[in-house]
Structure 1
Amino acid sequence: MSVESVWREIHATWGLLTSDEVLRVLGLAQADSTRVSVMRADGVLLAVKPGDVYVYPGFQFESGQVKPVIADLVDLARDVSWAQDDLAIWLCSPSGYFRGERPVEHLDQPDELLKKARDAATVEW
């Protein structure tokens, strides 16, 4: 599967949200437009750049909040020098670590997800 097709699938399945859409999802004032950039810089949000601007995969939001495991995944990606784009693609692609399921389907199992993400990012052949 090509990278472009993965982005299309992520967009179709969960959405690739703009900063303004993230503000709405989180119930924050639109006037606080720098808030999303700060959250991205602080490692609270997973941000990808499949084009010219950052967008935010919709799978990381639930009930007006960022899922708690997201900051840990972003931190892990920084720790293992894994680009956030690569992390998002890994999360949304079928994985042998999850018997062919997509890791994103396991966001509510943070310990297992983080261990397998680290294993995937640091595997040596």
Structure 2
Amino acid sequence: MSDRDTHRRHSSHPTGAIPSIPSGKKAEALWRAMRQEHGLYTISEAAERLGFGYGPNLRAGRLTGKGRVLAVQRGGTFLYPGFQFDEPGGRTVPAVKDVVRMGRWAGWKDEQVALWFYSPNPSLQGKRPVDVRDDEEKLISTAEKDMGGQPGASAPQAS
């Protein structure tokens, strides 16, 4: 399955907006922070960083085959936010994987889920979800509150 197929399968049109999630120039600042802090990687870069020693098609399949990772489209290219990976272990951070699944179930696009991770959150006393990604209980409860835990919950605008 190609990056584009995976992205289409796991993306939908936004159903609304959460006011605390920026769009436009503010969203661009979040994308820059994401790239600087954790990286936004092509499929080959992500596979290399995670130690997948296969050819490009097998790397893509390993990352996207089960649809458990975020694949965001930026500038016509699919990129994989680095915050979702446990680099030494070469796996997806379990709590992040759960939030990705929850966001998709609620109808959020991958770009919206990625922006949610980098937006200051009142439930976390202004911290960003990415800052507490290793605290599974806190991350999941915040995501459930924000994503509604049901299809069609309000999603941030990804510009």
- Using the size of structure 1 for normalisation, the TM-score is 0.86
Deviations 1:46-83 (A, max 9, x none): 22112212111111122132212232112101211111
C-alpha separation in 1, matches of 2:142 and 2:93: 18
1:60 pairs, out of 81, 84, 90, with 84
1:109 aligns with 2:150: no
2:44·2:59 contact (CA, 8 Å) conserved in 1?
no
* 3-state SS of paired residue (1:94): coil
Q: Whose RCO is larger (CA < 8 A, sep 6+)?
A: 2
1:47·1:56 contact (CA, 8 Å) conserved in 2?
yes
Taking every aligned residue pair, what percent have the same amino acid on both sides? 31
C-alpha separation in 2, matches of 1:70 and 1:25: 18
Cα drift, residue 112 of structure 1: 2.1
Stretches of structure 2 lacking an aligned partner (at least 5 in a row): 1-21, 155-159
Cα drift, residue 34 of structure 1: 4.1
The equivalent residue for 2:101 is 75
2:44·2:56 contact (CA, 8 Å) conserved in 1?
no
C-alpha separation in 1, matches of 2:120 and 2:96: 19
- Using the size of structure 2 for normalisation, the TM-score is 0.69
Cα drift, residue 92 of structure 1: 0.8
Q: CA distance change for structure 1 residues 41 and 81 in 2, over 3 Å: closer, same or farther?
A: farther
Cα drift, residue 37 of structure 1: 4.7
Tell me how large the CA RMSD over aligned residues is. 2.0
1:45·1:71 contact (CA, 8 Å) conserved in 2?
yes
The equivalent residue for 1:95 is 121
Structure 1 residue runs of 4 or more that deviate by more than 6 Å after TM superposition: none
* 3-state SS of paired residue (1:54): strand
1:5 aligns with 2:18: no
Cα drift, residue 33 of structure 1: 2.9
Q: Residue type of the partner of 2:120? A: P
Aligned residue pair count: 124
* 3-state SS of paired residue (1:100): coil
C-alpha separation in 2, matches of 1:38 and 1:44: 10
